[in-house]
Amino acid sequence: MKESHSQDRKIDDLKPKMTTLEKLEDIEVTPNQTLITAKLDGEFTLFVYDRDGESYTLNKWGHRRSDFPALNQLVEKMKQTPYGCVEFLCELYAMDEGKPLKLPQFISLIKGENQDLNKIHIAIWDLLSINQKPIAQHFDWKMQEVETWIEGCSHISVVPHLLPRTLQDIRDFWNEYVLGKGYEGLVIRNRNHTY
């Protein structure tokens, strides 16, 4: 892995401002507008793809990383698209035996003496721009589009997401991803609020 420090770009303004939701019953589900995504315990990251330049990830502390298995896999997939420049918001996280690991384990794997970069994965949760033009489409459209680009990847995925119709849909999603698969929690976007 190549790592450097970037002073030119900060990504704090790209992270959604979230409010803690005490209980699911407090959310009003609006069909086709409420969106839930599974939350991973990893590192908030911007991925920049540039066909003619450098492709890298950038975290909120300015750590710019390139040349690791998950990133290289994503770059190869992006070369198969017609796009020269693309920016995603994603989570860098660690995975072992099909389950996401906790943040301390991710940090140990990416920075520790026993680096195991094959356990580092990238989960995409927003498509910001294509060829330097912001993408204003609905989240569901963006993620379906990205899923076609990354088909067959072992270390890249779109975060699990759902447009729930009822509160029970959210409970079922919680049971499947948080209780069943070990995700950290849920992110719920409802109108102008993010929980």
pLDDT in tens, 117-131: 999 999 999 999 999
Q: Report pTM.
A: 0.92
Task: Give Cα 181 to chain centroid, integer Å.
Answer: 16
Task: Find all residues with CB under 8 Å of 62, minimum gap 6, and list them.
Answer: 5, 6, 7, 10
- Residue 191 confidence (pLDDT): 74
Compute the distance between CA of residue 4 and CA of residue 59 in angstroms, rounded to an integer: 11
- Residue 121 confidence (pLDDT): 97
